Amino acid sequence: DTGVSQNPRHKITKRGQNVTFRCDPISEHNRLYWYRQTLGQGPEFLTYFQNEAQLEKSRLLSDRFSAERPKGSFSTLEIQRTEQGDSAMYLCASSLASGGPTNEKLFFGSGTQLSVL
């Protein structure tokens, strides 16, 4: 499968624990996005990377959240001291930004469903 891969698919954790999700983008895609989706809502932007540089973070991304893309390939999203309100589907998307921004299309992974008990 050459699409965007996310692991794990499901994560159940107790409040206060730390969790880490991984995203493997489509090979050679230089941009990587993290989104969060709660029930009945569309995906909400969290942060994005151009290669290894994190270029924007949403106000939704509190200081308990940290994302990295150390070598410009896969990315991790860590949530420290999880809260029940963190329960959501965390989506990763990648794109190849070339030839101008109007050509950019995002390809999404299947997401990691986080449940905080």
Partner 1 sequence: AQSVSQHNHHVILSEAASLELGCNYSYGGTVNLFWYVQYPGQHLQLLLKYFSGDPLVKGIKGFEAEFIKSKFSFNLRKPSVQWSDTAEYFCAVNDHSWGKLQFGAGTQVVVTP
Rounded to a whole number of angstroms, the minimum distance from the CB of residue 41 to partner 1 is 5
Which of residues 17 and 107 has its CB atom nearest to partner 1 in the complex?
107
Instruction: Give me the least distance between CB of 36 and partner 1, in Å please.
Output: 11
Residues that bind partner 1 (CB under 8 A): 3-4, 31, 33, 40-45, 48, 56, 91, 93, 95, 97, 101-111
Closest CA to 32 of 48, 45, 46: 48
Question: Least separation, in Å, of the C-beta of 3 and partner 1?
Answer: 7
The single-letter code of the amino acid at 41 is Q
32 close to 46: Cβ distance less than 8 angstroms: no
Which residue, 18 or 51, is less far from partner 1 as judged by CB? 51
